[in-house]
Amino acid sequence: MHADTELIQTLADGRFHSGEALGRLLGVSRAAVWKRLQQIRQTFGLEIDAVKGRGYRLRESLDLLDEMTILRSLPEAEHALMGHLYLHNAIESTNTWLMQQGAAGELSGAVCLAEQQISGRGRHGRQWISPYGRNIYLSLLWRFDLAPMQVAGLSLAAAIGVLRVLHKINCLSAGLKWPNDVLWEQKKLAGLLLEVSGESSGPSQVVIGVGLNTRLGEEGHAIDQPWIDLNSIPDVAKQSRNQLAASLISELIKVVRLYQREGLSAFVDEWHRHDLLMGRQVEVRSVKHCHRGEHLGIDTSGALRLLVDGEQRLFHAGEVSLRKG
């Protein structure tokens, strides 16, 4: 285990630990412990308190990821279908890393999780705020015999998988916003990013990235849109990040398996039940145009259906953004 990881795990309880005890743990001097803690503060953005006579502690305790806990929490059926589970301390992006592994031959079902993303991404290249030891940053690799165009709707199906997990922990007001946002009372709770590569006629390699806000804290002030985290939502059943990660992996595997068999048509009715803007007057904006009309839901390809001046028009993810009109 890397020394920084070992040190963070020791301090994760939020209690004071003496410099002497930490030095014994790492096999270094107390002065070296201080230098290591300074490096951790700068590298991971963790706030560390130092109190004479008491030692060092993290200002906030951390709920760290653990491979064996996640694997033990997975239902047997999904565990059998899952590939390798990779846990990273800090990584540029779980999606980018897993896409690279896929290109190098990684098997279908591989999962990548990280305590922190240095360059987490949302749609249209937006930054995804990713503080250390908080939230869920998860990516799943899956291989399809289908052409890349045929898996475009998978991001909507995956959003339904995330919503199912949230509803199971009593986050009942969470709903969907096309194409792949999960909102609670019009505030962003989770987002998805689908990345696809492959031959034009298939097969395809797909990576589904999920960012779920569990506890953002002050880092949330850097987000340029209304947001919420599970910690701030009343009546939600408390779950560890490991439990949430296992639930998300399980549900995403169920989703991709059903999508392989039936495509997005198997999810359209469920999407419409939870579409927060269904039947509302909305604006669909692209770089050059703005279209106003009634939101009619989605079709089986994942396109948004908009009633404009009595005529139905279709808009595809990646071309437009959706705002309440």
Q: Indicate which residues carry an active-site annotation.
A: 123, 188, 323
**DSSP structure string for 95-152:** HHHHHHHHHTTPPTT-EEEEEEESS-B-GGG-B----TTSSEEEEEEEEESS-GGGGT
List CB contacts of 246: < 8 A, sequence separation 6 or more: 69, 70, 71, 73, 74
DSSP β-bridge partners for residue 194 = 208
Cα Rg of the chain (Å, integer):
21
* Residue with tokens 């939502």, as numbered in its chain: 233
DSSP letter for each residue of 182-216 = EEETTEEEEEEEEEEEE-TTS-EEEEEEEEE-S--
| Identity of the amino acid at 222 | A
Rounded CA separation 167/225 (Å): 23
* 112: nearest Cα among 217, 42, 14, 208: 208
Q: State how far the Cα of 126 lies from the Cα of 224, in Å rounded to an integer.
A: 10
Cα-Cα-Cα-Cα dihedral sign, residues 111, 116, 118, 123: positive
